[in-house]
Amino acid sequence: MTAIATEMQVLLIEDNPADAELTMDALRESHLENRVLWLKDGAQAIDHLFGEEAGLHVQRIKLILLDLQLPRVNGLEVLRRIRNETQTRRLPVVILTSSQEESDVIRAYDLGTNSYLVKPVDYDSFITIVKELGLYWMLLNKSPGESK
Amino acid sequence: MINIKQDGSIQDVNEAMVIATGKDRKQLIGQDFSSYFSDPEKARIGYQKVFADGSVKDYELQMLHRSGSRLDVLFNARIFHNETGDVAGIIAVARDISERKRLERELNNLNESLEKRVTERTAELKAANEELEAFSYSVSHDLRAPLRAVDGFSRKVMLGCGDKLDQEGLRLLGVVRQNAVRMGKLIDDLLAFSRLGRREMHVVAVSMQDLAESSATELIELEPERQINFSCEAIPPCLGDPAMLKEVWMNLLSNAIKFTRQNNPAQIHVGSRIEGEFTIYWIQDNGAGFDMAYADKLFGVFQRLHSQEEFEGSGVGLALSQRIIHRHHGRIWGESQIGQGATFSFTLPLKRLSPFLGDHP
């Protein structure tokens, strides 16, 4: 995914290519598809957020969509790192997962997620949810340090 | 029998003491009484107590045999006086309690091994439970993800290449999607069922009337086109977990609403009666009913008595309700005749529930 340098990004951290494609379909409906950067596992996410170019990357992120069951570094661990580091701690993170387990919901909130959404099996509900969350967090929600 | 002087030395013994110690009578006389016991200090305290109090009863000691073996005994002793009335010594009688002690030790060993087995078994159960939890976690996540792809990509075919498909092709894709969504629902219900076994119960006084009426109101609101006459008698409260009992009412009432679909108006009536130590709550409807020949299948997981086309459902609702009622130490059953409506009843104990309530029946 390439994006125009100045535009704010959605960081999609998702290992399942089918789910990633469906998520991008939904974001397309909100005209956000060009602003998605898809990372395929937790280790890629850690590298992107805390690696050499992290400074450049982080200032463009407007929203992180985070799956929980990720290969290598799982989603909760990624969330913990995000909340622990000064430069990423205030980034809006929305957990987007298949897990309905109460223990996951509790741990995600304890670690400071901004929202927790369970992916519906049904396509139409899934598209609606992701489309609306894209619009809400990208257009309506105000993050610290934003001028407008 | 043994005769002890005030200084603790042995004055005389009978044959039993000779056998017990393995020493001659002559060897024993004049020796310190306490030296023939595994705990001499306790023996000393024993005879001093007799001199102080006049007697002791069932004083436990362990005698030493010359061979090194030990004999558990109970001493009963009292002081005796000489002709002038002065205390002359102690007469002590020992009773062999080795058999009793052996049984006690055996019992202790048994208890210990039992405790050990309970600990092991608990650890096994805990491991099995954790495994089950990991399993249901995996079901919740790993099975739903592919289903979303099945439904999502069928939908993408319909949207993206719908013009290349004829009516039948579109219908077939529709069937794929319906089934994916249905399987998603099955997985969700199964998860709810497995979660219920792990959920802790929070027992309080529950207004069953409020639960029944609020559940009915919520469910009837979902069916604005239908005419559903619901009535609820004054039913007594109970002790139980309100969230779980709410699920029972929701399941039974939504069944009543579902199976009265072809009856206009639908009649759903809730009532109760007290029988012995239980309250029986019941829900009666004028719906499709079921064949009593299959009544035993009603409460099995995924068991259904109607086709998907007649009445949709996953077959988990009643299984879930039964599990909840069992955890409350009650019973649940259904009675019906085809076309004559159905009555579902469940019992809950009137008395305070036992502390083992959280356990499975």
Mean pLDDT for chain A overall: 88
Q: Pick the residue from chain A with its C-alpha nearest to B181.
A: A122
Return all residues near B306 (Cβ < 8 A) that are at least 6 apart: B259, B288, B290, B313
User: Which pLDDT band, with edges at 50, 70 and 90, does A59 fall under?
Assistant: confident
Are B155 and A99 in contact (CB < 8 Å)? no
- The Cα of A123 is separated from the nearest Cα of chain B by a number of Å equal to 5
- Cα distances from B171 to residues B154, B176, B181, in angstroms, run 11, 9, 15
* CA dist., res. B125 & res. B291, Å (int): 39
Q: The tokens of B350 are what?
A: 């009137």
B215 CB burial (10 A radius; 0-12, 13-18, 19+): buried
Asked if B152's CB is within 8 angstroms of A126's CB, the reply is yes
Predicted confidence (pLDDT) at residue A56 exceeds the cutoff of 90: no
Element spanning B92, H or E: strand B87-96
From A70's Cα to the closest Cα of chain B, the distance in A is: 11
Instruction: B53-60: list long-range contacts, CB under 8 Å, 24+ apart.
Output: B54/B78, B54/B79, B55/B79, B60/B97
Integer Cα distance of B236 and B345 in angstroms? 14
CA angle, B268 then B273 then B275, to 5°: 145
Quickly list DSSP for chain A: ----TTS-EEEEE-S-HHHHHHHHHHHHHTT-GGGEEEE-SHHHHHHHHHSTTHHHHHTTEEEEEE-SS-SSS-HHHHHHHHHHSTTTTTS-EEEEES---HHHHHHHHHTT-SEEEEPPSSHHHHHHHHHHHHHIIIIIPPPTT---
CA A13 vs CA A44, A118, A139, B215: distances in Å: 9, 15, 20, 40
**Could you say which residues from 2 to 31 on chain A have a Cβ atom under 8 Å away from some Cβ of chain B?**
16, 18-19, 21-22, 25
Give yes or no for a contact between A98 and A119, defined as CB atoms under 8 angstroms apart: yes
Give the closest-approach CA distance of B252 to chain A in angstroms: 25
Q: Do A19 and B141 touch (CB under 8 A)?
A: no
Alpha-carbon distance values, B172 to A18, B75, B176, B198 (Å): 21, 94, 6, 40
- Is A99 in Cβ contact with B148 (below 8 Å)? no
Q: Give the model's pLDDT for residue B359.
A: 41
Residues of B in Cβ contact (< 8 Å) with A18: 145-146, 148-149, 152-153
Q: Tell whether ipTM is more than 0.90.
A: no
Helix, strand, coil percentages (3-state) for chain B, rounded to 5, are: 50, 25, 25
Q: How many Cβ pairs closer than 8 A exist between chain A and B?
A: 60
Per-residue pLDDT tens digits for B50-104: 888 888 999 988 888 888 888 888 889 999 888 888 888 888 888 888 888 889 9
Nearest to B91 by CA among B79, B109, B103, B74: B79
DSSP B264-299: SSEEEEEEEEEETTEEEEEEEE-S----GGGGGGTT
Helix (H, G, I), strand (E, B) or coil at B347: strand
Interface contact B145-A97, CB threshold 8 A: no
Tell me how far apart the alpha carbons of residues B341 and B267 are, in angstroms, rounded to a whole number: 9
Mean pLDDT, residues A87-105 taken together? 90
Handedness of CA B109, B111, B114, B119 (dihedral sign): negative
Instruction: With beta carbons less than 8 A apart as the criterion, state whether B346 and B330 touch.
Output: yes
Among B97, B52, B93, CA closest to B76: B93
Pairwise CB contact (< 8 Å): B140 & A19: no
Quickly tell me which residue has 């006084």 as its tokens: B205
| Among the partner residues B144, B156, B177, nearest to A98 by beta-carbon distance | B144
Res. A147 pLDDT band, cuts 50 70 90: low
Average pLDDT of the residues in A10-32: 91
Q: Which residues of A touch B141 (CB under 8 A)?
A: 68-69, 97-99
Whether the Cβ atoms of residue A27 and residue A33 lie closer than 8 Å to each other: yes
What confidence score (pLDDT) does residue A67 get? 94
Which parts of chain B sit beneath pLDDT 70? 137, 140, 352-361
Residue B122 confidence (pLDDT): 87
Q: Which one has a higher pLDDT value, A44 or B339?
A: A44
Nearest to B75 by CA among B104, B37, B103: B37
Which chain A positions have a beta carbon within 8 Å of B142's beta carbon? 69, 98
Q: How far does A80 lie from chain B, in Å, by closest CA?
A: 21
pLDDT score for B360: 43
Give the residue among A122, A111, A36, A67 at the shortest CA–CA distance from B149. A122
Written as six digits, the tokens of B355 are 């502390």
Task: Tell me the mean pLDDT in the region A56-82.
Answer: 90
Rounded to two decimals, the pTM is 0.58
